[in-house]
Structure formats: structure tokens, C-alpha cells
Amino acid sequence: MPHTQLTLVSHPLCPFVQRVAIALHEKGISFERIDVDLRDKPDWFLALSATGKVPLLKVSDDTGRESVLFESVAICEYAEDVQPQPALHPSDKLIRAQHRAWIEFASATLSDAWGLLNASDHETASAKADVFRKKLERLEAEISDGPYFSGKDFSMVDVAIAPIFRYFDILAFDSIHPVFDGLERVANWRRALAQRPSIKAAVAQDYATRFLQHLRDQRALSAINTPIIIGRT
């Protein structure tokens, strides 16, 4: 991307920012990163963001023109368009459409995982765990033999799901934890993603510390490693 400067406006814990960072790293696209406090949003940020959310991607060219993109999927698609290789979407149009649908599924799965991780009582945690587990079972039935969602090629579906698995890696939810027990393909996929350089580089070195502190602030059961019983409610 000659003569173009990219600035990723982010929050240290935002999983959607991680998606964008992973995609840009995979493409070898250089970018700067600026974090904002979403509890005290600066005026310049509110002026740029149509939704008041991150991520934003500021795109500046050598003519002085500046554009702003919002929503992680739109930004990732932009990266795919301007830097086609390495491709993060399959070339087959039908499979590409299926992948886009699974990216939406990954977003719903992220919401379920976040609800589970932030639950502060057993009833809520159990209900959220049950919903999240069902999502994982659907993925178990759909994903390939690995190492990635559709086989050897890393794709946007992998980009979309990676921030979810990072949470459970930090909390040391192993493959026999009730939420993951028996899901061998999911476990192998999760391990492969954890080793991907772009995924490692998508967060700051203090990410785990910040994430755990967030859970403690929420008085989340997951922060104190409390067992979660699926189907309790």
C-alpha cells in the first residue's frame, strides 16, 4: 500500500480491534495504533466515529486526503481488497459466501463467550455456558481436520474466532473443561490459532493483565476459576 498511512484507533481489550490487527498483520500492512478510553471518549474520537465504538481505521494518503472506516468486518474487507495476497477469503464464490456467514456466527459466539466470562452469579454463568457450548458444538461439526477452519489456509473465519479463544487460553480453560470437553477439533483449532504470529501480535504485552483485572472488577466467577456447570438452569 504505497503512500498510504493507516492509524488503527482502538481499545486495549476490544476483540473487534484484534480482528483488524490480525488481518493487517497477515497482510503485512504497516499501521500505527492509538488507544482511547471508552469510558471518557475524547471529542476528536466522537467526531470520527459514527457509532462511538472502536475499531476505527484512519486512512491517509500523500495528497492529504483522510478517510475513516468503522466496523471490524468492513475494515478487514478493505484490507483484503487493497492487499489481495495472502488471501484471507477462499476463491470459490460459494465457499466465500459461506465463510462470511460463519464470520457472523463468530460474532454471535463472541457475545455468548463475553456473557459467560463476565457472569457474576452461578445461574447466569451456567445459562451462558450452555449457550456458548452449543455454539462450539456447531463449530466442531463444521470445521475441517485443521489446522484452521477450512484446512491448511488461514482465513477470515480464523481471524474472527481467534479473540474468543484467547480469553480461554488466558484463563487456562483446558480441553477437558466442561465448556470444551469432547470437542477435539475445536481444541486443535484453538491450539493452532494460539501459535499464529499475527494473533500473538494483535494485543499488547499487558493484555492478559488488563483482561484479568477487568474480570475482577466485574466480580466475574471466571476470574476466580469457579467451576461452571453446564445445563444447571
Q: Which residues are catalytic?
A: 14
Burial label, 205 (beta-carbon count in 10 A; 0-12, 13-18, 19+): exposed
9 closest CA partner among 73, 72, 74, 84: 72
Which H/E stretch holds residue 70? strand 66-70
User: What is the strand order of the sheet 4-10 is part of?
Assistant: 32-35, 4-10, 56-61, 66-70
**Partners of residue 66 on adjacent β-strands:** 60
**Partners of residue 68 on adjacent β-strands:** 58
CB-based contacts of 3, cutoff 8 Å, min separation 6? 61, 62
